């Protein structure tokens, strides 16, 4: 870590944030809309799709697999993505390598699709994605009948040799992961019979909701002899029909603006059309436990997903214990929660964070290193992160290393708004993977931001 300089993108203590923002579309739902639309017969029209690099790479991959995926813009600025699918089992072998960029979701879900098609395909990604383990999806997909080859031990680049006769099965996942669940269910779509995934705890259910929306039969149930466990079953070889998809605002993206408003004095921010799926709202529940002035208005259902508008006002936060049972509903939000904890009064203990070690970076280490550089006391206790808050402003005056991780970058830029001296990040370009307009939205709300050059020496937007 180094002290903050004008050569990095950095934020400084701000006097107050105010205004309204419509956060970008949900990344998880955007990936699934493109993939599931490519497996449907007929036209799927998608509005609100996130146009970040991760999702755009998924769009390119589906085109390479034979689906028609087009972006249609109108004179009034509205955008609709139109997908003409090939039906379940109808994808074709790609002519070149499928590059998923930074997206673990894209890579792991796509592995499930490829596994049940009689084709050979190679997936790769950027340096960060190539370092991430794929074992958690390779293991169950091999049981279905696919084969995998990798020079790096089940890491990208990964060759997937799919099977035309996927075997239906019951798979008990050792981890609560929506990516694993979805990969297995997607492979099971082509199997003759029912494929079941048993999760140790319920994860986000966008896959189940959307598959039903397209016409698949999906059943969920609790597991009698396993407290907290859930089974999800897909009946194979359905005929999926093209359908309209409205992508709600991403609660994981909204999280950064929510925490920014909470820790910046004299702030009131409204966030419109935010997804409120109950498997995604753990952060909001935790912030309320900490004393956040966070109100949900205009709750409604759009495209099968609950949504609402958030009104957030600056608040004095207090430390809490966040149990491991809450991790599946907020696993992507722990980096920014740690920033809120750094400004709170007292100690915040976040338990059950082992999953953070296999995200875009080792997020547990990145959070701890960055906070310590900013003058905040942090401890890693096994899979728990313990942050002792400053009860207001943090010292700051540091540059956090983000390790190509968009959520780490945005989190420390949020923290800079409540720092005595500026906080910078060494690579703001990573933000474009999920929230391309983040810096502009923050600036429009009143945040003090100084943009530095990206890796190519051009202005970060």
Q: State whether 159 and 266 are in the same domain.
A: no
Residue 183's pLDDT is 97
Asked whether the beta carbons of 17 and 264 are under 8 A apart, the reply is yes
Higher pLDDT, 25 or 328: 25
Percentage, residues of the chain above pLDDT 70: 96
Distance between CA atoms of residues 33 and 244, nearest Å: 9
Q: State whether 218 and 280 are in the same domain.
A: no
Distance between CA atoms of residues 246 and 240, nearest Å: 18
Please indicate, yes or no, if residue 242 is contained in any of the structural domains: no
Residue-wise pLDDT tens digits, 268-294:
999 999 999 999 999 999 999 999 999
The residue from 204, 235, 266 where one domain ends is 235
| CB-neighbour burial class of residue 130 (10 A; exposed 0-12, middle 13-18, buried 19+) | middle
Please indicate, yes or no, if residue 230 is contained in any of the structural domains: yes
Here the tokens at position 106 are 């894209």
DSSP 385: E
pTM (2 d.p.): 0.86
332 is catalytic: yes
Q: State whether 297 and 370 are in the same domain.
A: yes
Q: State whether 203 and 270 are in the same domain.
A: no
Here the tokens at position 133 are 């383990």
Instruction: Name the catalytic one among 332, 405, 427, 441.
Output: 332
Residue-wise pLDDT tens digits, 321-348:
999 999 888 989 999 999 999 999 999 9
Please indicate, yes or no, if residue 47 is contained in any of the structural domains: yes
Could you tell me the CA-to-CA distances from 194 to 30, 174, 218, 225, 438 in Å, in that order? Answer: 26, 20, 10, 21, 42
Residue-wise pLDDT tens digits, 126-183:
988 998 889 999 999 999 999 999 987 889 999 999 998 999 999 999 988 999 999 9
Residue-wise pLDDT tens digits, 68-101:
999 999 888 889 999 999 999 999 999 999 999 9
**Residue of 36, 78, 31 whose CA lies nearest to 56:** 31
Is 80 exceeded by the pLDDT of residue 358?
A: no
Here the tokens at position 37 are 């639309």
Q: State whether 19 and 32 are in the same domain.
A: no
Here the tokens at position 7 are 């050569």
Q: What is the DSSP string of 146-203?
A: -EEE-TTSS-SSEEEE--SSPPP-EEE-SS--HHHHHHHHHHHTTSSSEEEEEESS--
Round the CA-based radius of gyration of the chain to a whole number and report it. Answer: 21
Separation of CA 142 from chain center = 25
Confidence bin at 361 (pLDDT 50/70/90): low
* SS3 category, 397: strand
Q: State whether 18 and 42 are in the same domain.
A: no
Please indicate, yes or no, if residue 278 is contained in any of the structural domains: yes
Residue 77's pLDDT is 83
Here the tokens at position 152 are 């790096």
Q: What is the DSSP string of 86-132?
A: --TT-----SS-EE-TT-HHHHHHHHHHHHTSS-EEEEE--HHHHTS
**Residue of 211, 208, 274 whose CA lies nearest to 243:** 211
Mean pLDDT of the chain: 93
Residue 304's pLDDT is 77
Write down the residue that tokens 């603006």 correspond to.
Answer: 257
Q: How many helices (H) and strands (E) does the chain have?
A: 13, 24
Please indicate, yes or no, if residue 455 is contained in any of the structural domains: no
The residue from 184, 209, 235 where one domain ends is 235
Please indicate, yes or no, if residue 159 is contained in any of the structural domains: yes
Please indicate, yes or no, if residue 458 is contained in any of the structural domains: no
Determine the average pLDDT of the residues in 295-315: 93
Is 70 exceeded by the pLDDT of residue 121?
A: yes
Is 90 exceeded by the pLDDT of residue 309?
A: yes
Distance between CA atoms of residues 430 and 53, nearest Å: 10
**Residue of 210, 255, 201 whose CA lies nearest to 230:** 201
* Residue 11 burial (CB count, 10 A): 28
DSSP 413: H
- Enumerate the β-bridge partners of residue 43: 84
Asked whether the beta carbons of 246 and 47 are under 8 A apart, the reply is yes
Determine the average pLDDT of the residues in 256-261: 98
Q: State whether 214 and 268 are in the same domain.
A: no
Q: State whether 47 and 87 are in the same domain.
A: yes
Q: State whether 43 and 145 are in the same domain.
A: yes
Is 60 exceeded by the pLDDT of residue 5?
A: no
Cβ within 8 Å of residue 181, ≥6 positions away:
173, 197, 199, 203, 207, 232
Q: State whether 121 and 206 are in the same domain.
A: yes
Distance between CA atoms of residues 236 and 405, nearest Å: 36
Is 50 exceeded by the pLDDT of residue 460?
A: no
Distance between CA atoms of residues 47 and 78, nearest Å: 9
CATH number of the domain to which 93 belongs:
3.65.10.10
Here the tokens at position 447 are 């945040």
Distance between CA atoms of residues 460 and 127, nearest Å: 20
What angle do helix axes 282-289 and 334-343 make, rounded to 10 degrees? 10
Is 80 exceeded by the pLDDT of residue 461?
A: no
Give me the domain span that covers residue 19.
Answer: 9-24+250-450
Cβ within 8 Å of residue 79, ≥6 positions away:
47, 49, 51, 71, 72, 73
Determine the average pLDDT of the residues in 402-406: 90
Distance between CA atoms of residues 397 and 354, nearest Å: 29
Please indicate, yes or no, if residue 457 is contained in any of the structural domains: no
Residue 302's pLDDT is 80
Asked whether the beta carbons of 234 and 185 are under 8 A apart, the reply is yes
Q: How many structural domains compose the chain?
A: 2
The residue from 235, 261, 281 where one domain ends is 235
Q: State whether 138 and 17 are in the same domain.
A: no
Q: State whether 274 and 167 are in the same domain.
A: no
Report the residue count for the chain: 461
Determine the average pLDDT of the residues in 445-450: 96
């Amino acid at each position: 870590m180094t002290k903050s300089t004008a050569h990095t993108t950095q934020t400084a203590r701000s006097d107050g944030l105010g205004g309204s923002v419509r956060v970008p579309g949900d990344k998880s739902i955007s990936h699934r809309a493109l993939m599931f639309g490519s497996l449907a017969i007929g036209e799927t029209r998608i509005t609100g799709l996130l146009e970040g690099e991760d999702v755009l790479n998924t769009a390119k991959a589906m085109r390479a697999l034979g689906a028609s995926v087009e972006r249609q813009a109108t004179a009034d600025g509205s955008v609709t993505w139109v997908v003409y699918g090939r039906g379940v089992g109808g994808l074709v072998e790609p002519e070149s390598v499928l590059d998923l960029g930074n997206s673990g979701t894209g890579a792991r879900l796509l592995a499930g699709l490829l596994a049940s098609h009689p084709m050979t395909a190679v997936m790769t990604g950027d340096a960060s994605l190539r370092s991430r383990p794929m074992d958690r999806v390779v293991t169950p997909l091999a049981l279905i009948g696919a084969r995998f080859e990798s020079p790096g031990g089940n890491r990208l680049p990964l060759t997937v040799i799919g099977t035309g006769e996927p075997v239906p099965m019951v798979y008990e996942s050792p981890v609560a992961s929506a990516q694993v669940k979805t990969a297995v269910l997607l492979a099971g779509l082509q199997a003759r019979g029912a494929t079941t995934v048993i999760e140790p705890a319920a994860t986000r259910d966008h896959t189940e909701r959307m598959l039903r929306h397209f016409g698949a039969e999906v059943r969920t149930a609790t597991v009698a002899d396993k407290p907290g466990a859930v089974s999800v079953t897909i009946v194979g070889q359905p005929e999926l029909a093209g359908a309209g998809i409205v992508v709600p605002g991403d609660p994981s993206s909204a999280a950064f603006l929510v925490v920014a408003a909470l820790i910046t004095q004299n702030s009131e921010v409204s966030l419109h059309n935010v997804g409120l799926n109950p498997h995604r709202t753990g952060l909001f529940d935790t912030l309320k436990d900490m004393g956040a002035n966070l109100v949900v208005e205009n709750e409604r259902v759009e495209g099968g997903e609950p949504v609402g508008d958030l009104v957030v006002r600056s608040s004095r936060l207090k430390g809490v214990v966040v149990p491991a049972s809450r991790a599946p509903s907020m696993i992507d939000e722990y980096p920014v929660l740690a920033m809120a904890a750094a400004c709170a009064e007292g100690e915040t203990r976040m338990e059950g964070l082992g999953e953070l070690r296999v995200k875009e970076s080792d997020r547990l280490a990145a959070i701890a290193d960055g906070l310590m550089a900013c003058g905040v006391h942090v401890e890693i206790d096994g899979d728990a992160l313990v942050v002792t808050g400053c009860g207001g402003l943090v010292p700051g005056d540091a540059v956090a290393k983000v390790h190509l991780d968009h959520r780490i970058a945005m989190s420390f830029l949020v923290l800079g708004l409540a720092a005595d001296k500026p906080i910078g990040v060494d690579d703001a370009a990573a933000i474009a993977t999920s929230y391309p307009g983040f810096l502009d939205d923050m600036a429009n709300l009143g945040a003090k931001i100084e943009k530095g050059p990206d890796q190519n020496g051009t202005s970060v937007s």
